[in-house]
Chain A
């Protein structure tokens, strides 16, 4: 770029109509410019702030940590609420059960007993191949 073109660029710069790339070019090539532009270019160069490397990524990591912390807190809060509800439900259920008549209780017990009987019958049909503390392997006729 010759002196005339630099002159035009300085005019554009001073009129506030130059683009960012033109301004960058002007600040980098101050050897043909006026001393005032050169001085300002040095000031601009030394006051430019460099963005830290991977700045966006590190910020995102911080947000993720906050997000996870909030999620964990919500889960904890819901669990605590569920536990409290459960604790209150058991006595209510107990009171309701105690309020049953003798006949109702007998019916419930016989129903439970019949279920147990079914299970025993089913177990009787099972042919156990292998059994230890953790697993049972068996075959059935079903």
Chain B
């Protein structure tokens, strides 16, 4: 794989994998460092990658495995200033409190989901991955992903409904 091909086929995926890496590592700064590290490693192995039948899948999977390895070494840093800025940007104090409460509720619901379902739901709704991209990362079939996603979405809906019923 030459420089031009690497830039076009591998480096261009950096922006796509960024949301997933940032979410998994819990911090945008860590995600930038991690992707830089991943891309340098892939650059060093560009000759082997060139012969890979599914370069996109390989890059997604490499990024995910890198994050899993990082998480094994160290827990994610959840106090991300950029994430907090998303909330502070437009909302008043009352809304911020409400959001914090909602965030805690949803985090609790997500924790109860089976790991695979939770991961797929996050990849789809938060990271904005297409089904085939999730399939590449999880090494599952698209049909199976749709089933797991449907179960997860329905479960989250049920749990949220319960929460609002209790509130009433």
Contact = CB atoms under 8 A, between A and B. Distances in A.
Q: Which of under 10, 10 to 19, 20 to 34, or 35 or more describes the interface residues of B?
A: 35 or more
A53 to B, nearest CB: 10
B83 A46 contact: yes
Given A36-B161, A49-B19, A66 B106 contact: no
Nearest to B38: A59
Contacts, number: 102
Interface string B31-61: 1100110011001000000000000000000
B102 interface: yes
A16 B153 contact: yes
B11 A60 contact: yes
Interface of A: 13-17, 20, 23, 34-37, 39-40, 42-52, 55-56, 59-60, 62-63, 66-67
Interface of B: 7, 11-12, 14-15, 18-19, 22-23, 28, 31-32, 35-36, 39-40, 43, 82-83, 86-87, 99, 102-103, 105-106, 124-128, 130, 145-150, 153-154, 156-157, 160-161, 164
